[in-house]
Chain A
């Protein structure tokens, strides 16, 4: 008997999909595999070793850049999430009012503009401010990261709010809860998974940023990605593989947590 007929089947699609998954993961697998290489060359694998990880951990520049990345990402993600939560509360569950579409467009605007253009704009703008104020700290990077993180934090929070049941809040109001108490004890706990998802998205987006950071940073303000970009352009050793492997591990952890949090929505 011939293979059973399925209306969902399209010839060749499964093969292409398998090739696609393999192509997505093979380069990453090679990258990770060679971070454990005892030798220096990609041409041969000279046995397992953690030497490149040790080297990365002893590299002061890597440590400084990593800590700076985490610092910027934490501050930017917290501010972006708070601002995005407030904005989401202001733009959902309402009849259309004047300026609502403009707000949507404005909040999502950083997603529409090529990163390089924003990077150049911030380079020019912050160069002026640096001259006027004399301040050249991490504040510029934090401000830039916060701005482009807001639309990412906004997306899951808004989605969560739109699917939320209004009757509970109405019940709270009927029972004479003040608007703040209704928010604090009813809305916020229900909204929490969305806020958490928004925060994680913002955190990863900030952590991964290369282009805007590369243009905005002052001397000695390398984050891990800009440090890596500089190294990749100069000379490549398996130390880069080791750093990438660690970075990858962190990203994968965050994605899996994000996935679990979002699944509980249902």
Chain B
């Protein structure tokens, strides 16, 4: 009897050991080329910038201080780094507006797909999936082609004689916003669709039987039921938008920077790797707060379903 228990035990530990061995390659690759180096970024944020980029091994808090404060060149007094703060604010605001707009467009679209017949649903879904798989750079380029000064809109308006000189649409916050909504829209629609697909329309029908208006049904029945999809979609759009690099650098130009561009600048012309590292960690902290919000909300959603 005890022998049998012992055999079961060793078999179990052997199984677990085998599972560790099997997962080892994936874990090691991610540790070496994704997660591990993040710790080096943390270390670098506390060092002194080297003269030609890189760092010298001398502890310093300047990297972090420079995130929000700047030293006056003449008398060394510290003041708020308004340029950095405005970039932080722009990044957060643009990402939030992108999330809201993609939700406003994506929700009806996902609902439309989820209410099609089985056969046509696949096709509509494919139409969302194709842009999702298409290179983000190419999609940003497509927007650039339409809004730049020599682009489609200005070309048409000029030829129609409606304007005398091209409208400056490129290199504005509006351009970044348009681009981000465009490229991140599929990321919102897909998780929304996934939770709408499971929607039980008998509940909707029950709502109508109790004389609810379509709007009331939407607000009191549909939205609460697909809330996990709304949260998942919002997180999937907000996080990459906050760290966006390609879209703002093409559509925003050199003046309308977002956090991603500010970070790049420190590793390029800025030659201030500790500041760049500190900014990266700051960006990651904001993302973690967003993820925590997601985990807590998703968690409470789950327990409500069980209760």
List A residues at the B interface (Cβ < 8 Å).
Answer: 7-14, 16-17, 19-21, 23-25, 27-28, 30-31, 34, 41-44, 79-80, 82-84, 86-87, 89-91, 94, 97-99, 103, 106-107, 109-110, 112-125, 127-128, 143-144, 146-148, 150, 154, 204, 207-208, 210-211, 215, 225, 228-229, 232-233, 236, 240-241, 244, 247-248, 251-252, 254-256, 258-259, 263
Contacts and interface: CB of A to CB of B under 8 A. Distances in A.
Contact of A251 (B105, B134, B182, B242): B134
Contact of B19 (A90, A112, A251, A258): A90
Given A16-B112, A244-B138, 17 more contacts: A10-B218, A43-B150, A43-B159, A83-B26, A86-B25, A90-B19, A94-B15, A94-B19, A103-B27, A107-B30, A120-B267, A122-B37, A124-B41, A127-B54, A146-B29, A150-B26, A251-B134
A107 B26 contact: yes
B136 interface: yes
B27 A114 contact: no
B51 to A, nearest CB: 15
Contacts of B186: 24
B208 interface: yes
Contacts of A106: 27, 30-31, 35
Contacts of A123: 267
Interface of B: 15-16, 18-23, 25-27, 29-38, 40-41, 44, 54, 105-106, 108-109, 111-113, 115, 122, 124, 126-131, 133-139, 141-146, 148, 150-152, 154-156, 158-159, 182, 185-186, 189, 201, 204-205, 208, 214, 218, 222, 239-240, 242-243, 245-246, 249-250, 259-260, 263-264, 267, 273, 276-277, 280-281, 283-284, 287, 291
B146 A27 contact: yes
Contacts, number: 277
A30 B152 contact: yes
Nearest to A110: B34
Contact of B27 (A34, A97, A107): A107
B105 to A, nearest CB: 5
Residue among B152, B186, B205, B291 having the largest count of chain A Cβ atoms under 10 Å: B152
A204 B38 contact: no
Given A7-B205, A113-B287, A259-B126, A121 B40 contact: yes
17 contacts: A16-B109, A17-B109, A21-B109, A41-B155, A43-B159, A90-B19, A90-B21, A97-B16, A112-B287, A113-B34, A114-B243, A124-B37, A124-B41, A210-B136, A210-B137, A211-B246, A229-B250
B243 A115 contact: yes
Contact of A114 (B33, B151, B287): B287
A208 B135 CA distance: 5
Contacts of B34: 109-110, 113, 118, 121-122, 144, 147-148
Q: Which 4 pairs across A and B sit closest by C-beta, in order of nearness?
A: A114-B243, A43-B155, A17-B112, A121-B37
Nearest to B222: A10
